[in-house]
């Protein structure tokens, strides 16, 4: 048996014995199996890397802020800062009045105050059912259990604070970036309305394919608001980087912006009441206070204007468009940068020297507050010479005691004198030419919430000094009177003089 096996293995085929051919065959099979295993392993690692952001696709840090890192506590707490928010929300009670509605589409009417009252149960403001217009309510912050707009999307795309969308995802959401879905455009790119696969409406901001500039705008916005959360800031949900494409995905805010409500398309639905305007400006002030004072590094928006203040269907303000934002680290009083912004809103010291800090945003906020009060453009060359510059015209009107005439004539129910004075003085302090005299945004919040109009710090000191001087003079007079009325004191004084 063994001899037969040896004879068989010793047979020669193509010049080689059979056992040699068997060994060679087994070797080939082994090498093939090893090659397939290595190929599968390499492919698995490659697909795993594709689920992560490649090094060339990391959220970039600009040259000016490369040493600044977002505080880990911001991410850990989802951007919540209880002490500051509690301080801001001590007096959230406001009034809702129904605006005048004329010839307004049903889709737009859904964002009016009528809808807020009718849909009280589903409102984020927490109103009580059945309360008539004009009743007080207390807005509530977003609950921690609120469903995420990203729920239901594939888990492999989640990257900590946001979502990494594929270009195919966003093409599907916007019907291949259809012109019919365009809701805004400008020098930065085009904004489309879209719907994610889970039904969430989004605003898709497709940056222009300008080499270098698109990457710069992209990393600025991602660094500025990628980790922050506030109910008065438009939330950045995620982004897409594929080839030359740089796309940002935001929550969709469906009720226009402040400029449209003051002078544009939304005026067809009526005009904002005084209470609605103050509510919007108060929400804007709280968002800026959060950016300036509650997070590290602080964020300077650099382009605060009425068209960048979006309004949701509960008439809450949401600041948008952080394409020009800058970050300031702890201990940094200002940075020097190329002057950017919108004419009429830029602070004078920034326009003249390029020195930027949070007080530049305060000035821009003051201009927007004056817009909300007057309904005018910051600069309007169609008006007579003395009224072209809204800020200078308003200062003149206040000086000659004609402040009642500056209120937007489209406001049906005019504000009380005290409410108007409070808003005007707050705005004028914000647009003070001296940046050091402008208040912080947290102080602006308190001024807008105060029942009495704010008195500038210098006036308070002068009044205290005057009151102290008057009190001291009265004390001296009363002392002299006491001496004259006291006969013993008078007699002793006379004896001393005779001696």
Q: How far apart are the first and last CA of the chain?
A: 158
Report the distance separating Cα 235 and Cα 319, nearest Å. 9
303 is catalytic: yes
Task: Assess contact for 183 and 310: CB atoms under 8 A.
Answer: no
- Point out the annotated binding site: 206
List, in order, residues 6 or more apart from 235 with CB less than 8 Å away: 149, 225, 229, 250, 251
Cα angle at 282 between 281 and 287, to 5 degrees? 95
Report the distance separating Cα 67 and Cα 79, nearest Å. 21
Report the distance separating Cα 326 and Cα 83, nearest Å. 25
**Residue of 303, 361, 408, 432 marked active site:** 303
List, in order, residues 6 or more apart from 149 with CB less than 8 Å away: 196, 198, 200, 202, 235, 237, 251
Report the distance separating Cα 393 and Cα 372, nearest Å. 15
Report the distance separating Cα 195 and Cα 173, nearest Å. 5
The pairing of strands 162-164 and 189-195 is unpaired
Task: Assess contact for 219 and 286: CB atoms under 8 A.
Answer: no
- Point out the annotated binding site for ATP: 206
Q: Label residues 464-485 b or e (16+ Cβ within 10 Å = b).
A: eeeeeeeeeeeeeeeeeeeeee
Q: Which residues are catalytic?
A: 303
């Amino acid at each position: 048996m063994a001899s037969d096996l040896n004879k068989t293995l010793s047979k020669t085929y193509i010049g080689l014995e059979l056992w040699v051919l068997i060994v060679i065959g087994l070797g080939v099979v082994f090498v093939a199996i090893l090659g397939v295993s290595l190929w599968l392993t390499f492919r698995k690692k490659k697909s795993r890397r594709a689920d992560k952001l490649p090094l060339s696709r990391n959220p970039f840090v600009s040259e000016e802020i490369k040493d600044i890192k977002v505080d880990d506590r911001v991410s850990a707490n989802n951007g919540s800062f209880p002490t500051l928010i509690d301080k801001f929300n001590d007096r959230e009670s406001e009034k809702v009045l129904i605006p005048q509605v004329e010839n307004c589409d049903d889709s737009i009417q859904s964002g009016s105050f009528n809808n807020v009252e009718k849909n009280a149960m589903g409102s984020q403001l927490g109103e009580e059912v059945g309360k008539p217009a004009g009743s007080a309510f207390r807005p509530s912050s977003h609950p921690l259990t609120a469903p995420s707009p990203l729920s239901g999307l594939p888990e492999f795309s989640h990257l900590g604070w946001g979502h990494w969308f594929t270009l195919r995802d966003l093409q599907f959401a916007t019907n291949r970036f259809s012109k019919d879905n365009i809701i805004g455009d400008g020098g930065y790119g085009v904004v489309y309305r879209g719907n994610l696969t889970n039904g969430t409406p989004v605003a898709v901001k497709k940056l222009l394919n300008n080499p270098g500039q698109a990457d710069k705008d992209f990393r600025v916005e991602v660094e500025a608001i990628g980790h922050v959360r506030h109910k008065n800031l438009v939330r950045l949900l995620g982004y897409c980087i594929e080839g030359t494409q740089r796309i940002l995905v935001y929550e969709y805010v469906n009720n226009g912006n402040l400029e449209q409500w003051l002078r544009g398309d939304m005026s067809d639905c009526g005009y904002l009441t005084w209470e609605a305007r103050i509510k919007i400006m108060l929400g804007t002030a709280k968002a800026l206070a959060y950016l300036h004072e509650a997070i590290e590094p602080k964020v300077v928006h650099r382009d605060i204007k009425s068209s960048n203040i979006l309004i949701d269907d509960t008439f809450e303000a949401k600041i948008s468009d952080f394409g020009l934002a800058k970050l300031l680290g702890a201990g940094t009083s200002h940075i020097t940068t190329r002057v950017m912004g919108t004419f009429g809103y830029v602070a004078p010291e920034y326009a003249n020297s390029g020195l930027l800090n949070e007080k530049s945003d305060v000035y821009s906020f003051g201009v927007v507050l004056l817009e909300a009060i007057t309904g005018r453009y910051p600069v309007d060359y169609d008006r007579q010479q003395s009224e072209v510059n809204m800020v200078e015209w308003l200062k003149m009107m206040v000086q000659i005691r004609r402040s009642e005439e500056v209120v937007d004539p489209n406001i049906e129910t005019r504000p009380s004198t005290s409410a108007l004075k409070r808003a005007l003085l707050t705005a004028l302090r914000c647009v003070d030419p001296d940046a050091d005299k402008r208040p912080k945004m947290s102080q602006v919040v308190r001024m807008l919430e105060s029942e009495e109009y704010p008195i500038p710090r210098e006036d308070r000191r002068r009044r205290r000094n005057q009151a102290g001087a008057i009190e001291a003079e009265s004390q001296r007079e009363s002392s002299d009177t006491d001496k004259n009325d006291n006969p013993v004191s008078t007699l002793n004084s006379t004896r001393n003089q005779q001696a």
